Structure 1
């Protein structure tokens, strides 16, 4: 396993949230207040995990655009066997790492790097282990400067997911963005809208069901 790079944390404006349920319920999560990331609202996280409920227990979880790691922390709190968090921004990653070490040390692997590059490495590990995971994609909103192609690139990642390694893939996206009904081996199961944000749930479809 490669050595983890550990960037030094600079002072950054933050605010607090909490783990909503499970083993770590009530634990404080530090949320970075920067334009490149945002924290999933509590009502959205609660809806997500009310949907997943006990199906998540004992399964791996991958938060692809992690930010503070609030979703992965909620996942392991509610019984996920382990999780990975990928975050590119150096200062946000330092906050993510601090959250994980304080709340769920040893349960979540934090990865400092570009999600579009690091995703393949994590996915190969799932393939090698023969594991089926839950994947959570929360890319930065495409209205931000430099993010115009973010959804197209995210769809490319989703295309790589095979049924044998996926329990469910969830995408948090701008409500005014319509994602395809089918992405590779994934089929849209349902949507839940929360103001400007929407959760789209994709279920893997075996090849003989296509």
Structure 2
């Protein structure tokens, strides 16, 4: 199976249901919302799957893309996809492992845009949002977008505030930023 992204570029995905690439209309909507903020940004892709969101960010000029993915097979696909997309002046890194544990290793770094798309039925939402807030991974003017099934509710996490929500069929995007005091 494959996915097409910005510029009609073809990405590889794992066969079957091991990963669930973000729908094209959701991906397009997200990048329309974040239009003008991707060029030169530091991008963090959590539960990266095929890496389509990070690849799209690299295509649109992100300076750095970091992805975290549990599956070693998926990490190999992300690495392959990002390698074919990245320009010489762009950096990328793919980290394999449990997303909450891997976030600890990023402590001290900040990201302008964070995209988080775990399996919808997982119990990762609150621990990951808490870790992002605890380790200060979101840049002061940065935004975090989480993808959820439409039946999920929003999360209250100290240090982060929800600033908008968009519905696309059975998919919801919720956007967070650092709580301004």
Q: Normalising to structure 1: TM-score of the pair?
A: 0.77
Aligned residue for 1:39? Answer: 21
Label 1:136 to 1:164 Cα distance change in 2 as closer, same or farther (>3 A): closer
Match 1:185 to one of 159, 164, 180:
159
Report SS of the residue matched to 1:32.
Answer: coil
Q: Give RMSD over aligned pairs.
A: 2.0
Q: CA separation in 1, counterparts of 2:48 and 2:107?
A: 16
Distance between the aligned counterparts of 1:133 and 1:52, measured in 2? 11
Q: How far apart, CA to CA, are the structure 2 residues paired with 1:113 and 1:164?
A: 20
Contact 2:43–2:111 (Cα < 8 Å) also in 1: no
**More displaced, 33-42 or 47-56?**
33-42
Match of 2:71 among 84, 89, 100: 89
- Secondary structure, counterpart of 1:49 in structure 2: helix
Structure 1 residue 169 corresponds to structure 2 residue 153: no
Distance 1:170 1:45 in 2: 11
Number of residue-to-residue matches in the alignment: 178
Partner of 1:198: 172
The alpha-carbon deviation at position 29 of structure 1 amounts to 0.6
Higher alpha-carbon deviation: 96-105 or 47-56: 96-105
Q: Does 1:100 align with 2:75?
A: no
More divergent stretch after superposition (156-165 vs 170-179): 156-165
Gaps of 5+ in 1: 1-14
The 8 Å contact of residues 44 and 111 in structure 2, kept in 1 or not, is answered as: no
Most deviating of 161-170 and 101-110: 161-170
SS of the counterpart of 2:152?
coil
Taking structure 2 as the reference length, what is the TM-score of the superposition?
Answer: 0.88
Residue 114 in 1 paired to residue 93 in 2? no
1:148-172 CA-to-partner distances (Å, cap 9, x unmatched) read x233333333432548724001100
Q: State yes or no: 1:60 paired with 2:45.
A: no
Q: Which consecutive residues of structure 2, in runs of 5 or more, have no partner in the other structure?
A: none
Name 1:139's counterpart in structure 2. Answer: 118
> Higher strand share goes to which structure?
2
